[in-house]
Structure 1
Amino acid sequence: MTDNGPAGGMIGKVAVVTGGGGALGGATATLLAARGASVVVADWNLESAETRAKAIVAAGGTAVAVGGDVADDDAVERIFSTATEAFGGVDIFHNNAAAVHLARSDGPVADLTDEVWDGTMDIGLRGAFLCCRTVIPLMIARGGGAIVNTSSIQALIGDTWVPAYSAAKAGLLSLTRSIATQYGRQGIRCNAVCPGLIPGVRTEPDMLERILRRQPVGRSGRPEDIAEAVAFLASDAAGFITGQALVVDGGLTGHMPTYGDPVTSPLDAPAAR
């Protein structure tokens, strides 16, 4: 199964992926294993984590599964102790867990409930902090490591929906920069990926159509697109990159709002005389 790939081989590395039973985390876990890493697939849904880990092993990779809610201190300790006991430590951490199950209840600020706000922050930001606080000493003990946080383009621009999710992801960008600054001289790099829309079971067809009309790359994003970005940032090929946010959105945030509107776009208007 080993595929050293353009981002560099990861043979001998140990990786932990939270939210590893889902689409994005699962794609990353699979790719890191294919490039030679031993992977701990962590997810609040143990069955999903086990399914992904078994698929990795069946393909010739090395993986174990562990269940746990990243918002719970004991569960976080269990996730990383599993990595230490199974593989001897941690070199790569993909901090990917998010409260996606709350997204449909995340709406206008004036109508947002405490439950949705707190639940989103508990998993998306507090959980990320707990994991980083736990893994940093483990990485320092091995001479360093790479943390890649999954943020979002929602952290970069305003939108009409998911303000709690957006705020949590924006906080994650600040945490990324703080970790990169505080622990860089101890061998730890910390970066973030900011995915655009990656269609899934919760994606409404009309939303997807509107996004694609405004996205220069003329296709939907795939979990593998994000996995490739994470694998690059976690690899030695990105050894001089830290404290950064890599946007992976098909160009969605790289243009003016007039793009994709055939009525108002200056590209489609008659030439000025």
Structure 2
Amino acid sequence: MTGRFAGRTALVTGAGRGIGRATALRLAGEGATVVVNDINADGIAQTLAAAADLPGRAVPGQADVTSADEIGALVDQVAAAHGPIDILVNNAGGALPGARWTPVAESTLDDWTGFLSLNLTSAFCCARAVLPGMLDRGRGHIVGVGSISGTNGQVNGAAYAAAKAGMSALVASLAKEYGARGISANGIIVGNAPFPGRPPERQQHLDRAVHLGRVGGYEEFAAAIAFLCSPDASYLSGAMIPVDGGFHRSNLL
């Protein structure tokens, strides 16, 4: 195998579709052994099939990232079968089945905790699970996938926005706690990513707000994540890089 990630083992959460799948394929394309984590077995199978001919390899890692026990068991299994995890990409997020996107006054505590569980607590559980192995070896990369909602807020999505703001704080804290021990923690802030089912008029508004005038491609987000996992980012620590075509600078927000 050749590539920046040859001989490395990566865990990508939410890798059954979207940014997670593109990231898994990018890392495997550069030589990594990639654990394709998702709760959806069909999504995992599709990502594995897409990675079949890449220089690295992709292996299944079905587990519920909101369960500390399941994530701990998965990390142990991966270490035994493929070696300890060198790269963690905390990508899993969005909404649990049945989740409600509602104004704060109409939200329940279950609405709030559901979004935080999937979008933030999961990242904490995964980081906590891989850190002992990284600390033993004195190296590792942790990347968090944030959202522009975490900096700008979101109508009918306060819980999601708060969780994504928390992702940025988690990344910053990990960088402060473990940078001197060889572990980098960085992330990307996603804006205007493809979203199936988004109304055309809403997509047109978002495209107008983006300096580049278009929706971002999954592979473009994955390329930024791969950079943060690579030796090319050796002096980046605690950074959350906007990958949004200039969305965060828009005067339409």
Is the structural similarity TM-score above 0.5? yes
**CA displacement at 1:151 relative to structure 2:** 0.8
**CA displacement at 1:105 relative to structure 2:** 1.7
Counterpart Cα distance in 1 of 2:18 and 2:241? 19
Change (3 A) 1:174 1:102: farther
**CA displacement at 1:138 relative to structure 2:** 1.3
Partner of 1:204: 199
Change (3 A) 1:167 1:103: farther
- Tell me the TM-score normalised to structure 2 length: 0.94
Partner of 1:245: 240
Tell me whether 163-172 or 59-68 shows the greater mean CA deviation: 59-68
Partner of 2:136: 141
Counterpart Cα distance in 2 of 1:243 and 1:115? 31
Partner of 1:130: 125
Partner of 1:158: 153
**CA displacement at 1:252 relative to structure 2:** 1.0
Counterpart Cα distance in 2 of 1:21 and 1:250? 25
Change (3 A) 1:103 1:195: farther
Counterpart Cα distance in 1 of 2:102 and 2:50? 36
SS in structure 2 at match of 1:19: coil
Contact kept in structure 2, 1:102 and 1:116, CA below 8 Å: no
Counterpart Cα distance in 2 of 1:59 and 1:36? 8
Partner of 1:36: 31
Aligned alpha-carbon RMSD (Å): 1.7
Q: What does the per-residue CA deviation read over 1:96-118, in whole Å, with 9 as the maximum and x for residues that have no partner?
A: 11133469722211111222211
Partner of 1:88: 83
Partner of 1:228: 223
Query: Among 166, 171, 174, which residue is 2:169 paired with?
Result: 174
Partner of 1:105: 100
Q: Larger radius of gyration, structure 1 or 2?
A: 1
SS in structure 2 at match of 1:183: helix
What percent of counterpart residues are identical?
Answer: 36
Contact kept in structure 2, 1:199 and 1:208, CA below 8 Å: no
Contact kept in structure 2, 1:20 and 1:29, CA below 8 Å: yes
- Tell me the TM-score normalised to structure 1 length: 0.88
Contact kept in structure 2, 1:66 and 1:82, CA below 8 Å: no
Contact kept in structure 1, 2:96 and 2:118, CA below 8 Å: no
Partner of 1:26: 21
Counterpart Cα distance in 2 of 1:92 and 1:147? 6
Q: What does the per-residue CA deviation read over 1:33-76, in whole Å, with 9 as the maximum and x for residues that have no partner?
A: 00111100001112211221232124453111111111112210
Counterpart Cα distance in 2 of 1:63 and 1:244? 28
Partner of 1:47: 42
**CA displacement at 1:78 relative to structure 2:** 2.5
Q: What does the per-residue CA deviation read over 1:171-191, in whole Å, with 9 as the maximum and x for residues that have no partner?
A: 111111110000011110001
Unmatched segments (≥5 aa) in structure 2: none
Counterpart Cα distance in 2 of 1:82 and 1:56? 21
Partner of 2:8: 13
**CA displacement at 1:11 relative to structure 2:** 0.9
- Counting only pairs closer than 5 Å after superposition, residues 36-75 of structure 1 correspond to structure 2 as 36-75=31-70
Change (3 A) 1:217 1:103: farther
Contact kept in structure 1, 2:52 and 2:58, CA below 8 Å: yes
Partner of 2:190: 195
Unmatched segments (≥5 aa) in structure 1: 259-273
- Amino acid corresponding to residue 228 of structure 1 in structure 2: A
Query: Among 77, 87, 91, which residue is 2:72 paired with?
Result: 77
Counterpart Cα distance in 2 of 1:202 and 1:69? 25
SS in structure 2 at match of 1:199: coil
